[in-house]
């Protein structure tokens, strides 16, 4: 037991140190390269000024957005994988990404919305609507919302929203430049004015996640066993679903549909700290920001002075990592 605790403490300490280094890199790396002394001065001395200092302060909301969205997507991914008992679950399976994209495209076409501060709430509403439809469809029939029905409902609803999005975009080519900037997923448009109003929604999502953590451990053993342990599978599923909706909806509306974070991070956390969802979620709140900030810094460094949006980099990094995890799992079962 002491050995396991020591290993868990070491993993957390290393992860926290890596995250701190990435935060410093995130505010220091960009079209203008700055050193650590300037970063410390910009963050500690409010009277400091200059081009480099101003550049650093503009990167602070981008860094904070990466931390918030990384932790939110990782937590939401763990919730979805637990509720659906599907190791491939991510925001797409809830209909969140497709619902948010459809709502934003429709708002662009009907109301002429063009800026993130305008359509962030529309994206949140669309993602919530998509997830609600998936839950309702997956709850139909005998037995309520089973993992298989939720997965199938997510695929069908996602395809429906994607078809509507395509139908609206095709005759409106002028909308493509605005839409594709959001659809690729990125942190470059981060502003405190758009981040702060969404924070209460993210906090509410984390509250829901923390509330159902004991129930998720019981749920992973099966509905019958969960009932025998005094847990309510239906209530656990519903609260976890609401938490995932809030976390994914807020993240998607702010930064677009960033893939692989909610899919890969819970698997990595499970390898590092075991199958206890309390530890998985806690570890995910470190690993998610590490992946997202690392991808963002890498995208800025490789193509300086231009940026490669973080959604592209996470896909490039996440795909081979996930293939490796699948192979490791398959090898473990074979042995």
**Domain range summary for the chain, segments of one domain joined by +:** 65-334
Residue 188 scores a pLDDT above 60: yes
Confidence of residue 17 (pLDDT cuts 50, 70, 90): very high
Residue 74 scores a pLDDT above 90: yes
Residue 305 scores a pLDDT above 70: no
Rounded to an integer, the average pLDDT of 20-43 is 71
Residue 258: which residues within 8 A CB-CB, separation 6 or more?
Answer: 69, 73, 185, 186, 251, 252, 292, 310, 311, 314
Residue 335 scores a pLDDT above 60: no
pTM: 0.86
Q: Would you report the helix, strand and coil content of the chain in percent, each value rounded to 5? A: 80, 0, 20
Measured between alpha carbons, how far is 69 from 252 in angstroms, rounded to an integer? 9
Which pair of structure tokens corresponds to residue 84?
């659906």
- Give the CATH H-level superfamily of domain 65-334: ABC transporter involved in vitamin B12 uptake, BtuC (1.10.3470.10)
Confidence of residue 116 (pLDDT cuts 50, 70, 90): low
Q: Average the pLDDT over each of 68-72, 75-79, 232-236 and give the range with the smallest value.
A: 232-236
Preceding omega of 305 cis (within 30 degrees of 0)? yes
Measured between alpha carbons, how far is 295 from 6 in angstroms, rounded to an integer? 29
Higher pLDDT, 103 or 34: 103
Which pair of structure tokens corresponds to residue 5?
């605790």
Instruction: Give how far Cα 15 sits from Cα of 63, 269, 285, 290, Å.
Output: 17, 11, 10, 8
């Amino acid at each position: 037991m002491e050995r396991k605790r020591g290993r868990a403490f070491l993993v957390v300490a290393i992860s926290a140190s890596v995250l701190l280094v990435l935060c410093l890199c995130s505010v220091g790396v960009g079209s203008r390269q700055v050193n650590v002394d300037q970063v410390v001065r910009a963050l500690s001395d409010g009277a400091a000024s200059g081009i480099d200092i101003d550049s650093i302060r503009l990167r602070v909301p981008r860094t904070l957005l990466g931390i918030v969205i990384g932790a939110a997507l990782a937590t939401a991914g763990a919730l979805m994988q637990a509720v659906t008992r599907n190791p491939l679950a991510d925001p797409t399976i809830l209909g969140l990404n497709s619902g948010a994209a459809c709502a934003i495209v429709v708002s662009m076409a009907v109301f002429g919305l063009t800026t993130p501060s305008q359509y962030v709430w529309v994206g949140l509403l669309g993602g919530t609507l998509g997830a609600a439809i998936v839950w309702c469809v997956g709850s139909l029939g005998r037995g309520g919302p089973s993992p298989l029905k939720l997965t199938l409902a997510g695929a069908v609803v996602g395809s429906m929203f994607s078809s509507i999005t395509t139908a609206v975009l095709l005759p409106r080519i002028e909308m493509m430049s605005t839409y594709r900037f959001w659809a690729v997923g990125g942190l470059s448009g981060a502003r405190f004015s758009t981040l702060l109003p969404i924070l209460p929604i993210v906090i509410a999502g984390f509250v829901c996640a923390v509330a159902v953590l004991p129930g998720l451990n019981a749920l992973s053993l099966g509905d019958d066993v969960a009932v025998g342990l005094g847990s309510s599978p239906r209530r656990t599923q519903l609260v976890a679903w609401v938490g995932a909706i809030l976390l994914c909806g807020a993240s998607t509306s702010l930064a677009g549909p960033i893939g692989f974070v909610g899919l890969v991070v819970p698997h990595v956390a499970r390898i590092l700290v075991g199958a206890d969802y309390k530890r998985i979620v806690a570890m995910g709140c470190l690993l998610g920001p590490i992946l997202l900030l690392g991808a963002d810094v890498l995208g800025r460094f490789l193509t300086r002075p231009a940026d490669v949006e973080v959604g592209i980099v996470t896909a490039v990094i996440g795909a081979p990592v996930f293939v490796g995890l699948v192979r490791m799992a398959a090898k473990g079962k074979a042995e």
